[in-house]
Amino acid sequence: MNGFDYDLVIIGGGLVGSSLALALRNAPLRIAIVDAQSEAQRRASPAGARALALAEGSVQILQRLGVWAAIEPDATPIRHIHVSDRGHFGKTRLDAEREGVKALGHVATARAIEEAVIGALHDAPADLLEQARLIGLKAGDDRICVTLRQGDDTLNLTTRLVVGADGGDSSVRKLLDIGSTARDYGQTAIVLEVATERDHRNTAYERFTASGPLAMLPIDRKRCSVVWTLSHHDAEDVRSLPEAQFLATLQETFGHWVGRLSIATPRQAFPLKLIRADRMTDRRVVLIGNAVHQLHPVAGQGFNLGLRDAAQLAEGLIGRTEFGEDIGSAGFLEAYAASRSRDLQNVVFFTDSLVRLFSNRFAPLALARNLGLVALDCWPAAKQRLASHAMGLARRIPRMPS
C-alpha cells in the first residue's frame, strides 16, 4: 500500500475528533486527522472563548486521556446549581456536598480543552492534514477512498474506517446522503463574560425567562460566563444595544444573585438549532459528536455527549485491534451505534424538553413547571436523579486505557 493508506481517517479535528485520536494514541493504528482549518485559525477563532460545563463523567474521561492535569488549573468546580424561573416562585438548588461529591461538574473554556487535547496529540503518531476539506467518499469491500482538497491539490487516501467528526454541518453526513432532522428554535445564544460584585461561591445559575434560558457559569472567583438565549429578533436588538443599556437589560433579566454585573468581554452570537442525523453509520463510516447531534446549549450537554461517543468508539476500536478484527465491519459499526443510541435519545429528549417547557409562556404550564421546581427542591430522590443527570454520571463511563 502507498503512504496514503490508513487504518482510520478522522474528518474533523475539533474537540470530539481530537479526543478520539488521543484516546487511540497507543493503539497500533495508522491514523490521519483531517481538518478544514489550521491550528492558528482555530486558535484565533472567538468561538474558543465559550465556556463549557463539563460533567464529572467528562472529567473522568479527560483524566484517562491524560489531559485533565493541564485543564484543571484553569477550570472552575461547580459546587452548587441554582435553577429558577424569572417572575415565578419556583426554584431548586443542587449541592455537591449533599450529593456526596466534591463538585457537580467543572467549567472550562473550549480553548483550554482544545489546547490540552491538541497539545497532547503533537506527541501522538497520527498524521495531521490541516486546511484540507473533504470532497468525496467512495466505499469498497475492505477500504473506503477519501478525497480531499488542500489548497490547489487533490489528495486521495484509503482507509478501513472514516470517522465523521466534522460538526453540525457535517460534509461526511451530506456526501453520504444521511438525512437529518433539524429543529430551528428560532433562538440565538449571546455569549460573553461578566465580572460579578459578589463571589458566586462556585454556583452555576440557570434562569429560565419568558424569552429563553440564561445560564451564568462560574469561571473565576468573581467572574462568570453568560450564555443568554433569545429569539433571533430579540438577540439582534439586545446585541446592538450600547454597553450600559445592554448591561441594565442583562442585570434585570438575571437579577442580583451575585450583585452588580459589569461587562468583561465582547458579546458573541451563536444561532441555535437541534440537528440530529437519521443514522450514525454507513459503509465503513461512523459519525460522532455534533455531526450526529447538535444540541441547544441550555443543558450544557453537547461536548459531554460527544466525548462519550469518542470514548465508547475508542474502547470498541481498541478491542477490535487487539483481536486483529476489521475495524470498519458493518457488524462492529452497528453494535457501536446500538450502544450509543440510549444515551443519545435521553440527552436529546432532556435538552429539547427543557427548551420547550421553559420557553412556553402559557400560564398553566408556567405554574406547573414552577410547582415542579418546588417539588424537586423538596424531594431528595428526584433531586439526586437530576444531579446525576447534570453530572453525566448516570451512564457507564467507557473503559479507556489511561
* Chain residue whose CB lies nearest ligand FAD: 14
Largest Cα–Cα distance of the chain, in whole Å?
A: 67
Q: How far is the CB of 336 from ligand FAD (least distance, A)?
A: 16
Instruction: Give kind and range of the element (H or E) at residue 365.
Output: helix 363-378
Q: What are the b/e assignments for 260-299, b being 16+ CB within 10 Å? A: ebebbeebebbebebbbbebbbbebbbbbbbbbbbbbbbb
CB-wise, 355 or 366, nearer to ligand FAD?
Answer: 355
What string of DSSP letters covers 84-140?
EETTSS-EEEEEHHHHTSS-SEEEEEHHHHHHHHHHHHTTSS-EEETTEEEEEEEE-
Report how far residue 164's alpha carbon sits from residue 301's, in angstroms, rounded to the nearest whole number. Answer: 19
Report how far residue 17's alpha carbon sits from residue 35's, in angstroms, rounded to the nearest whole number. Answer: 10
CB-wise, 303 or 332, nearer to ligand FAD?
Answer: 303
Interacting residues with ligand FAD (CB under 6 A): 11-17, 34-37, 50, 52-53, 110, 133-134, 165-167, 171, 189, 191, 227, 270, 289-290, 297, 300-304, 306
Q: How far is the CB of 388 from ligand FAD (least distance, A)?
A: 16
Report how far residue 111's alpha carbon sits from residue 22's, in angstroms, rounded to the nearest whole number. Answer: 17
CB-wise, 139 or 374, nearer to ligand FAD?
Answer: 139
Angle at 101 between CA 98 and CA 104, to 5 degrees: 90
Report how far residue 55's alpha carbon sits from residue 304's, in angstroms, rounded to the nearest whole number. Answer: 7
Q: How far is the CB of 301 from ligand FAD (least distance, A)?
A: 5
Q: How far is the CB of 378 from ligand FAD (least distance, A)?
A: 28
Q: Are 22 and 313 in contact (CB under 8 A)?
A: no
CB-wise, 12 or 366, nearer to ligand FAD?
Answer: 12
Q: How far is the CB of 326 from ligand FAD (least distance, A)?
A: 25
How many CB atoms sit inside 10 A of residue 98's CB? 13
Instruction: Give kind and range of the element (H or E) at residue 384.
Output: helix 380-390
Report how far residue 255's alpha carbon sits from residue 268's, in angstroms, rounded to the nearest whole number. Answer: 21
How many CB atoms sit inside 10 A of residue 135's CB? 13
CB-wise, 17 or 213, nearer to ligand FAD?
Answer: 17
Q: How far is the CB of 89 from ligand FAD (least distance, A)?
A: 27
CB-wise, 8 or 366, nearer to ligand FAD?
Answer: 8
CB-wise, 297 or 316, nearer to ligand FAD?
Answer: 297
Estimate the crossing angle of helix 110-121 against helix 15-23, to 10 degrees.
40
CB-wise, 14 or 370, nearer to ligand FAD?
Answer: 14
Q: How far is the CB of 209 from ligand FAD (least distance, A)?
A: 17
**DSSP structural state of residue 169:** T
Q: How far is the CB of 321 from ligand FAD (least distance, A)?
A: 23
Q: How far is the CB of 82 from ligand FAD (least distance, A)?
A: 16
How many CB atoms sit inside 10 A of residue 354's CB? 19
Report how far residue 35's alpha carbon sits from residue 39's, in angstroms, rounded to the nearest whole number. Answer: 9
CB-wise, 14 or 328, nearer to ligand FAD?
Answer: 14
CB-wise, 258 or 305, nearer to ligand FAD?
Answer: 305
